């Protein structure tokens, strides 16, 4: 989700990191799902991505719920 929003804005990881006052490596880890964004980080990323904070938090929550929900396996 973060990568999609970043690319939609035409930003590199480095440019997003600069705008959000974060490290580029941290942005990469967030995109890969290896780190979770804190509320403070969300408040930095949302404006840098041009997304209202509440909308961005909703996207983050939806993504977290998607990961937490076990995928059903079809039986053959």
pLDDT in tens, the chain (76 residues): 899 999 999 999 999 999 999 999 999 999 998 998 899 999 999 999 999 999 999 988 887 788 777 765 655 5
Cα R_g (the chain), whole angstroms: 14
The model carries a pTM of 0.78
Token representation of residue 74: 């079809």
What confidence score (pLDDT) does residue 1 get?
A: 87
What confidence score (pLDDT) does residue 67 get?
A: 75
Cβ neighbours of 18 (radius 10 Å): 15
Q: Is the dihedral of CA 1, 27, 40, 68 positive or negative?
A: positive
Q: Which domains does the chain have, with CATH numbers?
A: 2-68 (1.10.260.40)
């Amino acid at each position: 989700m973060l990568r999609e929003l970043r690319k939609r804005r035409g930003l590199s990881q480095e440019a997003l990191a600069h705008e959000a006052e974060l490290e580029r490596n941290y942005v990469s880890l967030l995109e890969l799902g290896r780190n979770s964004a804190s509320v403070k980080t969300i408040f930095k990323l949302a404006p840098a991505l041009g997304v209202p904070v509440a909308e961005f938090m909703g996207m983050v929550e939806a993504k977290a719920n998607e990961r937490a929900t076990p995928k059903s396996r079809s039986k053959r």
